[in-house]
Amino acid sequence: MGGPAPRGPRVAAVRTAACNTPVVGTVVWDEEMAEVFDTVFSDQFDPAVLDPMAAGLAELAGDGAALEFGVGTGRVALALSARGVLVRGIELSPHMAARLERKPGAEAVDVVVGDMCTATVAGPFRLVYLVANTIMNVTTQDEQVAVFANAAAHLEPGGCFALEIVVPGIRGVAPGAPGRVFALEPDHAGIDTFDDVLGQVSWSLHWYQVDGRWLHHAAPFRYVWPSELDLMARIAGLRLAHRWADWRRQPFDAESRSQVVVYEKPRA
C-alpha cells in the first residue's frame, strides 16, 4: 500500500446490550457501514464464492423453509430465495435490513429486526444458517450458546443448523506479538489484535478505500474452536452431521483455515 492507510471517517461498530452482555456487546453495523457494505465485500458476491454456498444451503433446505441469522443486506438470502427456497431472516442492524428491503427480490424474504440470541420467527424451519463468521460478532460464550439454542428452537425435527466460520488464526501470531496483519491490499488493510486470550475476544481493525476516501471500521469478535462449536451444539440438543473445509465440501483437516459445519436436530 506504500505506507499506512490514511485515516478517514470512522465507521464504528456500535456495541449494544441486546444480549445483556455487561462487558462487550453484540456488534451492530451502523448506517454508514451499511451503505458501503456491499461495495466493501463485493468479492463475496462473485458467483465463484456465492454459488457453491447457495447450492449447499439449498440442498440442506430441500423442500423446507430456511432462516438466516444475521441476514445483513441479503447477499445469501436473496441467492437462496432465487433457487426457490422460502427464506426468512433475523438482522440486528435496522440499517442493514433497510438495504436489503431496497433490493430486487426482497419482497420474498421477510426480515425480523432483532437479536439472534432471542428473536423468534414463525416456523418451524428445515434449515437455520449463519455464515461469514457472524457468530463471532456475539462476543461471549454464553450468548453464543444462546444462538445455538435459538437455532435449535426454530428447527423442525431432522432439520439442520449450518455455520460458516474461520478456524482461529492464533498459530499465525508470533510469540509475544499483540496481533497480526491479515490483509494488506491497495484498498484494504486489516489487523487482528488478540486482546483477551482467556475470553477468546479479539478486535478486528480495518481500513477500506471506498469512492476515493478511507473508512476505518473496528469491531470485537469472539473466536470459537471447532470442538467448542460441537459442545455448544450438544448443549442445544443438536448433533454433528458434517464438517467440511468449504462449501465445495473439501475435507476438513488440521491445516484448514475455515469450516462449514452442519448440526442436525434429532427426529425423536
- Which pLDDT value is given to residue 39? 74
> 3-state DSSP call for residue 255?
coil
Ranges of the chain with pLDDT below 50? 1-25
- Which pLDDT value is given to residue 203? 84
Backbone torsions φ then ψ of 200, nearest 5 degrees: 60, 35
- Which pLDDT value is given to residue 27? 60
DSSP H helices, the chain, are 31-40, 47-61, 75-81, 94-101, 141-154, 226-235
Backbone torsions φ then ψ of 226, nearest 5 degrees: -55, -45
Question: From CA 259, how far away is CA 261, in angstroms rounded?
Answer: 6
225: its cell numbers: 474452536
Question: From CA 146, how far away is CA 118, in angstroms rounded?
Answer: 7
pTM: 0.84
- Which pLDDT value is given to residue 138? 92
- Which pLDDT value is given to residue 28? 64
Q: Which of 40, 90, 44 is nearest to 67 (CA)?
A: 90
Question: From CA 226, how far away is CA 71, in angstroms rounded?
Answer: 23
- Which pLDDT value is given to residue 189? 85
